[in-house]
């Protein structure tokens, strides 16, 4: 029997980045928390803006797109860990992506468990994309953690567009937020909602606006803190070395991308390129 010497334990390349993936700017809400946990980590942020919005696509389209892209991205960029910073992609494609990629993958799970622990009234609202709210993954989380609560769901594609617009610096009509709040409030029991799960990574970027639309007495919860903790745990003890400004990659070069420059810079992404 050969006993491995310490030098034979594979070590991670200290310059290898974390790769965060979303359809658009939503994953920046996750990146924000990852930065707090691991300020020294080099990051490549990938926005599949050519595929945005995922929420309007079929399960088959999303699964094919996400696995294909992540396969090419990991081959080309050799990240030490991939975070699918998108609820839609995670609830649909996480298992199949994990099957084909060797790199550790952290997904984004709708924060139903902490919401169930937080609610006093027992009525929880869940805002996600149309694709996310119909997933059996969400049904399972509801059955496991919120069986004795009422979970009201609403698919809100308008909010994805609103978050994208906000980060470009465009004005957004406040009616967009009011409509999302009303869609949950008007469901049976909806007047008692005291906790809202932001089950789309775009939505924490517009939490202030949503909070104003729901009014006082409503708390918001999303999965980003848990993701940051999980990434810190999985990379524990690894060395980090950032040699150049972090990179934002887009799958389609378009004029809108240039207008995101300030928001990207604010999240520590100093370079923009097309993949
Ligand atoms: N940010 C994504 C999510 O967390 C989806 C937005 C979209 O492409 O529809 O679900």
For the chain, give the percent of residues with pLDDT over 70.
96
Instruction: Give per-residue pLDDT as tens, 26-80.
Output: 999 999 999 999 999 999 999 999 999 999 999 999 999 999 999 999 999 999 9
Catalytic residue from among 62, 85, 109, 200: 200
Q: Structural domains in the chain?
A: 15-108+225-274 (3.40.50.1860), 112-222 (3.40.50.1860)
Active site residue 200: yes
Mean pLDDT of the chain: 95
Q: Are strands 123-128 and 150-155 parallel, antiparallel or unpaired?
A: parallel
CA 237 to CA 252: how far, in whole Å?
36
Q: What separation in Å is there between the alpha carbon of 52 and the centre of ligand 1?
A: 8
Across 191-217, average pLDDT? 98
pLDDT surpassing 70 at residue 4: no
pLDDT surpassing 70 at residue 153: yes
Which atom of ligand 1 has the smallest separation from the CA of 55?
9
Tokens of 19: 């790769």
Across 164-170, average pLDDT? 97
Across 200-206, average pLDDT? 98
Alpha carbon of residue 54 to chain centroid: 12
For the chain, give the percent of residues with pLDDT over 90.
94
Q: What separation in Å is there between the alpha carbon of 55 and the centre of ligand 1?
A: 6
Of 157 and 4, more confident:
157
pLDDT surpassing 80 at residue 1: no
Which atom of ligand 1 has the smallest separation from the CA of 200?
4
pLDDT confidence band for 8 (50 / 70 / 90): very low
> Which residue in 34, 141, 132, 14 sits closest to 82, CA to CA?
34
pLDDT of residue 3: 55
Predicted structure pTM score? 0.95
54 lines ligand 1 (CB under 6 A): yes
Which atom of ligand 1 has the smallest separation from the CA of 88?
10
Across 124-142, average pLDDT? 97
pLDDT confidence band for 256 (50 / 70 / 90): confident
Pocket test for ligand 1, best of 20, 22, 46 (most atoms within 8 A of CB): 22
Any bridge partners for residue 124, and if so which?
151, 195
223 lines ligand 1 (CB under 6 A): no
88 lines ligand 1 (CB under 6 A): yes
Catalytic residue from among 19, 66, 86, 124: 86
Alpha carbon separation from 144 to 82, 107, 189 (Å, rounded): 27, 18, 21
Tally of CB atoms within 10 A around 190: 17
């Amino acid at each position: 029997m050969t006993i491995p010497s310490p030098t034979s334990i594979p070590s991670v390349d200290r310059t290898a980045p974390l790769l965060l993936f979303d359809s658009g700017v939503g994953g920046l809400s996750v990146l924000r928390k990852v930065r707090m946990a691991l300020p020294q980590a080099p990051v490549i942020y990938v926005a599949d803006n050519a595929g945005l919005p995922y929420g309007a696509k079929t399960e088959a389209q999303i699964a094919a797109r996400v696995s294909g892209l992540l396969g090419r991205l990991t081959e080309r960029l050799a990240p030490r860990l991939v975070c699918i910073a998108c609820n839609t992609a995670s609830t649909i494609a996480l298992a199949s992506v994990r099957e084909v990629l060797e790199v550790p993958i952290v997904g984004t799970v709708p924060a139903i468990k902490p919401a169930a622990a937080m609610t006093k009234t027992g009525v929880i609202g869940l805002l996600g994309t149309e694709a996310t709210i119909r997933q059996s993954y969400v049904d399972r989380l509801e059955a496991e953690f919120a069986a004795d609560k009422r979970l009201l769901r609403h698919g809100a594609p308008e909010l994805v567009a609103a978050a994208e617009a906000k980060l470009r610096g465009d004005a957004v009509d406040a009616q967009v937020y009011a409509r999302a709040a009303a869609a949950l409030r008007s469901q049976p029991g909806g007047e008692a909602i005291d906790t809202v799960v932001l089950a789309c990574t775009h939505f924490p970027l517009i939490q202030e606006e949503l909070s104003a639309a729901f009014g006082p007495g409503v708390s918001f919860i999303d999965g980003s803190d848990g993701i940051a903790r999980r990434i810190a745990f999985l990379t524990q003890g690894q060395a980090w070395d950032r040699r150049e400004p972090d990179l934002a990659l887009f799958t389609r070069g378009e004029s809108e991308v240039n207008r995101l420059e300030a928001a990207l810079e604010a999240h520590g992404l100093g370079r923009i390129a097309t993949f």
